[in-house]
Amino acid sequence: MQPSFNNNIQKVIKKFSYPMWIIYRDQNIKCTCVDFTTNQPNPKCKKCLGTGRKIKIRKITAARQPFRVSITGQGVATEFSLYSTYYTLNNIKANPRDILIDKNSVDVIQDCYEERCNDNEPTYYRYLTAPKKTNKDIFLKMFNYILGSDKNV
């Protein structure tokens, strides 16, 4: 009997996966830091990391495929990340606006795809993300404080 297509895809994801963090945002519970008038969260809030929502932090393994663009010209050479695609096994489900932290990369999930193969159950998840643009340094500092690796906050 040949191995199933599902198992082969999961093997590839496992091979290229490594540890990172995911922050789940609860869309139904606002943080107490959210300003009543402007509806804006405090970017330095240690409870929600400036997301304005109750959060849950989980260590996961995932594979990341960054999409980078290089710009070269006379006296100019730079490369930057436009977006990344993350792949997880079917035991890690996330939603748009949840956040993935890969070392110093902070990516916000834009779209989620349940990928299916041989049967009707999801084999793996694919997440398209965009880099967090605002308050990234403050966000990482608060995140490291919560994890206990930054005592200077």
H or E, element range at 10: helix 5-16
Per-residue pLDDT at 56 exceeds 80: yes
Across 137-152, average pLDDT: 83
Contact 43, 138 (CB under 8 A): yes
Structure tokens at 116: 């299916």
Beta bridge partners of 122: 116
Q: What is the dihedral of CA 4, 58, 86, 123, to 10 degrees?
A: 20
Q: Helix, strand, or coil here: 23?
A: strand
**How confident is the model over 86-98, as pLDDT tens digits?**
999 988 999 999 9
pLDDT value for 112: 94
**How much is the pTM?**
0.84
21-25, 80-84, 130-134: range with lowest mean pLDDT:
80-84
pLDDT value for 2: 44
Of 152, 132, 150, residue with least CA distance to 43? 132
The count of other CB atoms within 10 Å of the CB of residue 85 is 16
